[in-house]
Each structure stands twice: as C-alpha cells, then as structure tokens.
Structure 1
Amino acid sequence: MTTYTTIPDLNDDAESLREIRHHIHQHPELAYEEFATSTLVAEKLAEWGWQVTRGIGGTGVVGTLKVGDGPRSIGLRADMDALPIVEQTGKPYASAMPGKMHACGHDGHTTMLLGAARQLARTKRFSGTVHLYFQPAEEYGVPSGAQKMIADGLFERFPCDAVFGVHNHPGMPPGVFLFRKGAFMAAGDKVTITIEGLGGHAARPHLTVDPVVVAASVVMALQTIVARNVDPSQPAVVTIGSLHAGTANNVIPNSATMELSVRSFSEDVRALLKRRISALAEAQAASYGAKAVVKYEEGYPVVVNTDAETEFAAQVARELVGEENVVGNADILMGSEDFAFMLQQRPGSFLRIGNGAGEDGCMVHNPHYDFNDKNLPIGAAYWTRLVERYLSQ
C-alpha cells in the first residue's frame, strides 16, 4: 500500500518554516521588487536538490524536480509580493521596511510551498515531474506576475498537466480547506474617472464649475448601477476606493479624480458595467457643465476551476484533514486573483485555507493582518500529498 504524506510528517519542520515565514514577513518587497525573496527561494530550492530557474516574469522563480519515469507533470504556484501598507501588528517580526507589509499572506503561501519542496525532495514518493512556480506581482494589476511568467514561456518551458494554487481565507479556522468547481472568484477591473471643471476662488463659486460637487454627484450616481442596472441574480460590485481633489479650503480646484474597483462574474455583466459607468459619469458631469474622462482598464478575469481537478484536490484535503474540515462547495468570492490567467492556460484549481476566525481572523489588506503559522505544516503537507497522489506510481 502506498504511503502518502500526513501533517505529523511535517511537525519537525514547523519551527524552521516559521523562521522562514517570519524572515520574509520582516523583509517585504513590492511587485517586481522581490529580489531578496526570490533569492531566498532559489537558494532553498537549490539546497534541497531542485533544478532552479530564475528571472521568469521578472523576479519569478521556478523549481523543477523529476523523479522516476512517470509521464505526468504538475504545477504548484505561490505568490511572493507584499503591499504598500504600514504594518501595525506590533509583532516582533513586523515589517522592517517602512510602508511595505505582507498584508495578504503571500509570505505564508511562499513558505508553505517551500515546506512542500523540502518534503518532496526528501521523500521522493512520486513518479513524474513537479514544477513550483514562485510568482511575483500578484497585487500589481495588469500586467500581473502571472501574465508576465506566462509571456516568458512558463507553460512551454515548464509544462504541467494541471496547475494548483492556494490563498489563505480569514473567517475560517486554520486547516479548513475551501473548494468550488467552476467560477470561484470575480473578474476585477480598474476605472479612473477624471472630472474636468473650472477652478477659482471658494468665495465666488458662481464663476467656477466645481469638480468636487460633480465628483460627489458621480459617486452617488454610480451606486445605482448594481442596484438598478444589473440583474439581481448576478453578482457585481462597484466600489470607489479613491477620490482626490484640491489642496486648500479656499480654492475650488480645476479637477477631481476618482478610482474604482469593479467586480463581476460574467462577461455580459462585465460589459454592462463598463458601458454604464462610462455613460453615467459622462452624462452626470455634463449636467453640471463639466467633463468626465473615463479610463477603463480590464484586469484579472474570473477564476474558473475545472471540475475534475477541483474534485481531486478536495479529495486529497479530505484524506489529510478529514471531511469535517473541507468545504466542498464554498461561496463565490468577489475578490480577484491573477491565478485566473494560469487557469486559462491549463486545467486546475484555486483553493482556500482558513486563516482564523473571530478576533484571529483579521481581513487581508489590513495593517493588523498576519498569516497564521498553524497553516505552515498543514499547507506543506497538503501540497506534498497532492503531488504524491497526482503523480502516484
């Protein structure tokens, strides 16, 4: 009977994995600046006997390990970049880089995959080829790290029959796995709207076209799109995350600029949102005598998991942590993820692992967030077992 990796097999590695994760956390690097992180990854992989290729998609790293003569291959992906956030956790390993922080858990994703790399090299209980894709710039937007790695020939140079990725999931206990077949995470687009008015003295507003007033009106009008234009059965989000205008209280500025995050799950809704946002902003501005210039950037597509690979990945999780710790049909998520580009190229699945519930489940992209170290041996064991099962002899 074939023996597959269990979580206790990684218990002895837990402390060293924590040390790696804390080091990466303390030295966060933004998109396409992951020089120290990629060096650490490359050095660890080489130390454990993996063939290492650097510079894929800029700062990306690929580790390759072939065992036996099995014809199949598998790809596992972890993201490495941090966010431009000032950390407020107060942890002893908090960011030493002002204004930069691992506020989305990519330090943990990278470390879990490194833990699997060490275990796979140590046990070699598979026959076939494993490629580990350590990706830069997931947070960047277009062009993202996944796009750049793919453009650099990722799947031609390091081919796989299926590709898998993971993200931590605040709100669920550590070690709980979440899966969903089909569409799982939303497409995400970025919109910049510049309101061009006519500036002047705050005491003589009748001689101006106040872009701040226009922008406020546009913000409120945009809220009607999802409520009144999108089919209520179709998920969609329009969020104005940034609004800037003026530099002094007694000056009406010439312009105001807002940035939107737009999420959707279908191409029809995505097209509707683009059409209505542009038309509404332009018409609303015109009604005040101003002009709206709309820049619409299509970003990450919908994350679509293939059925067979998702069922396989969920079954591996059930074997590892038990049926009670696996959510087989998780709710859709309105967040976006550039792993979607990889899933457009290869069958595969993007899964989630709980990062903590209640007070321990701080949302990502928050200055108080931290990856849960309890997941390090669990995630490493999961990736190892997934490879062993996929490339079973």
Structure 2
Amino acid sequence: MTDLEFVTTHRRYLHAHPELSMNEFNTTRYIKEVLNSLNIEYTTPLNTGVIVELDGNSDTTIGFRADIDALPIHEENDTEYRSLTDGVMHACGHDGHTAALLLFVKRCHDLKNNGLLKHNCVFIFQPSEETMAGAKQLIDAWGGSMKMDAVFGVHLMPDEDTGLYLYRDDEITASATEYRFYITGQSSHVAQKHKGVSAVEALMYVAREVSQIQQYHLDGLNRNIVHVGQMNAGEAINTVASNAYLEGTIRTYEADDLNTVTRQMDKIRQSAQLLYGVDVALKFNEGYPATKNSPELKTVVDQAVKNINGTSVLNDKPYLFGEDFSFYREIAPSYFIFVGAKDDSKGFNSSLHTARFDFDEHVLMNVADYFEEIVKVF
C-alpha cells in the first residue's frame, strides 16, 4: 500500500464513521487497530483518544497533535465515503488530521526500527477539540508524563490553495468563550399585562446592549467579536413572557479585552434586573485561550516548509477561529499552522464547518511530509 493509499483508506473510513466530542469510541478503536497492525504500542489516558511515544536518538522530545472528533452537521456531499451517521459529519478536517498523523507515526516507526529516528516523538490523537477542551482534559489526565520540548499542530484550510502553509508568530487563533443569559420574569394574560414582568422586554434590552460592547467598550484597533448566536422567549401568543434566553460567543486575542467584555456583560445583567424587575443569570464557559505560536520555533517551521517545496504565507493577522491546541502551550513551546486544501478545479472549496466540506487526500501527504521535516530540522 502506497502512502497515498494509506491516508486515503483511513481518512475515508473515518469520514464515513464520524463521532461527536468525547464519544469517539469507534474512532479510537479504529486508530488502535491501525497501530496494532503496525506493531506500534500506545496508551489511552482518557476514555477516547490515543497517545503513541517513540524513542529516538536524542534527549529531545517533540509532540505532534491531531484532533479526532466530528461536528453535529448533516453532510450534503454525494460521495461513496459520505457520513453514514445522520446529523454528524467530519466538516472540519479532523478525519484528515488523524489519517495524516497515522501515516507520520508509521514513517517514524520505520525510521526507529532502522535506528534513524532523530528525536523522541509523541503522537497525540486528541478527542473533543470542538467542545469541552479535549486538549486540557488530556493534559490533566496525562499529568507529569507529558514532557516535551515542543509541540506542533496543523489544521486544513479550504479557503487557501493547496501548497500554501499559513502561519504567524504569537496569536494565530482567537480565544473562544461562550456566554448565556437566562432571564426570568412573571407571566400574565396579555389583557392584564401590567400584572406581569416581561422577560421579552428585558431580552431586547440585553440583546441591544450586548451588541454595542464591541463598538463602544473595546479598542477599535484590536480584533474582537462579540456575537449573539441565538435567543428565544415566551410561552404563548397571548401571555406576557416569563422566560427568555440569549447565547453567543466571544472571540478575542487579548486577555484584557475578554475581561472587559465579561465585566460589561455583568453590568448589563445587573441593569436589566433593575430596569425591568426580572431575574437574570449570566454564565460563561471556561473557553479556549488564544493560540499563540512560540517565535523561537518559527525558523524550524520555515525550514520544514522550504524542504518540502511548500509556499510559506506569513499572515498579517490571526484567524478568529477558536482552537484548543492553545492549551499545549502550557506544557511546552508550540507552533500551529494552517495547510491549504482548496482546489477549485476539483470542486474542493467549501469552507470549514459547512455541509459540503471535502478535500483531496493528496493534501494529507503535505501534512505528513511537513511533520517529518520538523523532526529532521529540529
């Protein structure tokens, strides 16, 4: 089996059998089966996900990460390997990341058997990137045994042409924090609406004020998003609404900006209660920090891309995606890049998290080649 056949076979199986965050049991089983067929040992610190450690010829240890979970999206592609699970799809390329890392593990295992693996390598098949911060859970579970000198990660990017490698020092993706307002009023018949306490009235106020935070309370030169994603209210057409709900996401690069947003939201919560007589609860999730690339690793990345005849693109600004690769920076210097996967001639140009996202498996060779050069250059 050629390397291209290897990644194509495994990627297409994974694509047809997607699983949501922290439920990647079949995916984990499949990864183990592939590793078993290659006589490669592994560990499983969590219920899902796999870690492989290979000893090389130095005291340096380099980590490489792939995420393995899918999204709650119904696939609209008509391919032989389309998702077999209604409402679940690998719409973010994690099937490709996993297949590429499997190929890289296979290559490194061959190098080790021939005494040619330059450094110790850790291969992280990580669950739950899309939700619940699988990276953080894995780091906490693995504990002190996760000692590495650097960690590298990639993400396919269907908005950029195949052959491009996109990165920058410091911030490369944003922090991602979810917020939720729960508003409780008092119901009454619309004919006696003065006896009720309208959660709808408070909801309109909260939505309006939240939408103004970015414009009036954050530095206009910084890149931030304060997004209202969903809201609903009421129980019947002829009653005063007793309950309302609003949720959204915050994307920032600076911790001070995130603190400004959360403080302002709490002021909105308090003022809504005073103005409208409702009870308002405000909850934030822990969120993902901004992914920040360690500048001291850039020369390694530059040389690796050059060695595989890739085209480096140094982004002048970060992406506003959230990415839990950010947590690996807590344990080692890290560097995260985007690998172009767009090919208009073949119809591969649908963006991430869309129902028609797909790519040519040749791009997975680019990922494996890049990782292999990292080991050689480091």
TM-score normalised by L of structure 2: 0.92
Partner Cα separation in structure 1 for residue 141 and residue 329 of structure 2: 16
1:201 to 1:311, Cα distance in 2 relative to 1, 3 A: farther
Q: Quote the residue 1:74 is aligned against.
A: 62
Q: Answer yes or no: is the 8 Å Cα contact 1:282–1:293 preserved in 2.
A: no
In the alignment, which of 197, 205, 208 is matched to residue 209 of structure 1? 197
Q: Quote the residue 1:327 is aligned against.
A: 313
Q: Quote the residue 1:3 is aligned against.
A: none
In the alignment, which of 21, 24, 30 is matched to residue 31 of structure 1? 21
Q: Quote the residue 1:4 is aligned against.
A: none
Q: Quote the residue 1:103 is aligned against.
A: 91
1:233 matched to 2:221: yes
Q: Answer yes or no: is the 8 Å Cα contact 1:194–1:258 preserved in 2.
A: yes
Partner Cα separation in structure 2 for residue 46 and residue 385 of structure 1: 25
Q: Answer yes or no: is the 8 Å Cα contact 2:188–2:195 preserved in 1.
A: yes
Instruction: Output aligned runs, 1:271-350, within 5 Å.
Output: 271-322=259-310, 325-350=311-336
In the alignment, which of 46, 53, 67 is matched to residue 57 of structure 1? 46
Q: Quote the residue 1:128 is aligned against.
A: 119
Shift of 1:190: 1.3
Q: Answer yes or no: is the 8 Å Cα contact 1:49–1:121 preserved in 2.
A: no
Matched position secondary structure for 1:355: strand
1:386 matched to 2:374: yes
1:289 to 1:371, Cα distance in 2 relative to 1, 3 A: farther
Shift of 1:187: 1.2
Q: Answer yes or no: is the 8 Å Cα contact 1:314–1:328 preserved in 2.
A: no
1:101 to 1:200, Cα distance in 2 relative to 1, 3 A: farther
Give, as a single letter, the amino acid of the residue that structure 2 aligns with 1:12.
Answer: T
Shift of 1:371: 4.2
1:252 to 1:367, Cα distance in 2 relative to 1, 3 A: farther
Q: Answer yes or no: is the 8 Å Cα contact 1:179–1:310 preserved in 2.
A: no
Q: Aligned residues: percent identity?
A: 30
1:222-256 CA-to-partner distances (Å, cap 9, x unmatched) read: 11111011011122111111213235434443111
Give, as a single letter, the amino acid of the residue that structure 2 aligns with 1:21.
Answer: R
1:79-125 CA-to-partner distances (Å, cap 9, x unmatched) read: 00111222222322111112211111111111111111122223444
In the alignment, which of 125, 128, 136 is matched to residue 147 of structure 1? 136
Q: Quote the residue 1:86 is aligned against.
A: 74
1:248 to 1:362, Cα distance in 2 relative to 1, 3 A: farther
In the alignment, which of 229, 236, 241 is matched to residue 253 of structure 1? 241
Partner Cα separation in structure 1 for residue 361 and residue 192 of structure 2: 59
Shift of 1:58: 2.8
Partner Cα separation in structure 1 for residue 274 and residue 77 of structure 2: 46
In the alignment, which of 142, 160, 172 is matched to residue 184 of structure 1? 172
Q: Answer yes or no: is the 8 Å Cα contact 1:162–1:347 preserved in 2.
A: yes
Say which structure, 1 or 2, has more relative contact order (CA 8 Å, 6+ apart): 1
Partner Cα separation in structure 2 for residue 24 and residue 287 of structure 1: 52
Partner Cα separation in structure 2 for residue 312 and residue 27 of structure 1: 35
1:376 to 1:230, Cα distance in 2 relative to 1, 3 A: same
1:17 matched to 2:3: no
Q: Quote the residue 1:266 is aligned against.
A: 254
1:22-79 CA-to-partner distances (Å, cap 9, x unmatched) read: 111111111111111111112222322322112x233121112223x32211110000
1:91 to 1:342, Cα distance in 2 relative to 1, 3 A: same
Partner Cα separation in structure 1 for residue 340 and residue 282 of structure 2: 38
Shift of 1:163: 0.5
Residue segments in structure 1 that go unaligned for 5+ positions in a row: 1-10
Partner Cα separation in structure 2 for residue 147 and residue 115 of structure 1: 25
Residue segments in structure 2 that go unaligned for 5+ positions in a row: none
1:248 to 1:314, Cα distance in 2 relative to 1, 3 A: farther
Give, as a single letter, the amino acid of the residue that structure 2 aligns with 1:105.
Answer: G
Aligned residues: 373
1:377 to 1:213, Cα distance in 2 relative to 1, 3 A: same
Partner Cα separation in structure 2 for residue 250 and residue 365 of structure 1: 39
Matched position secondary structure for 2:152: strand
Partner Cα separation in structure 1 for residue 269 and residue 342 of structure 2: 40
| Range moving further from structure 2, 254-263 or 87-96 | 87-96
Give, as a single letter, the amino acid of the residue that structure 2 aligns with 1:147.
Answer: K
Partner Cα separation in structure 1 for residue 191 and residue 355 of structure 2: 40
Matched position secondary structure for 2:171: strand
Shift of 1:357: 6.3
Partner Cα separation in structure 2 for residue 225 and residue 357 of structure 1: 39
TM-score normalised by L of structure 1: 0.89
1:219 matched to 2:207: yes
Matched position secondary structure for 1:200: coil
Matched position secondary structure for 1:221: helix
Q: Answer yes or no: is the 8 Å Cα contact 2:291–2:325 preserved in 1.
A: yes
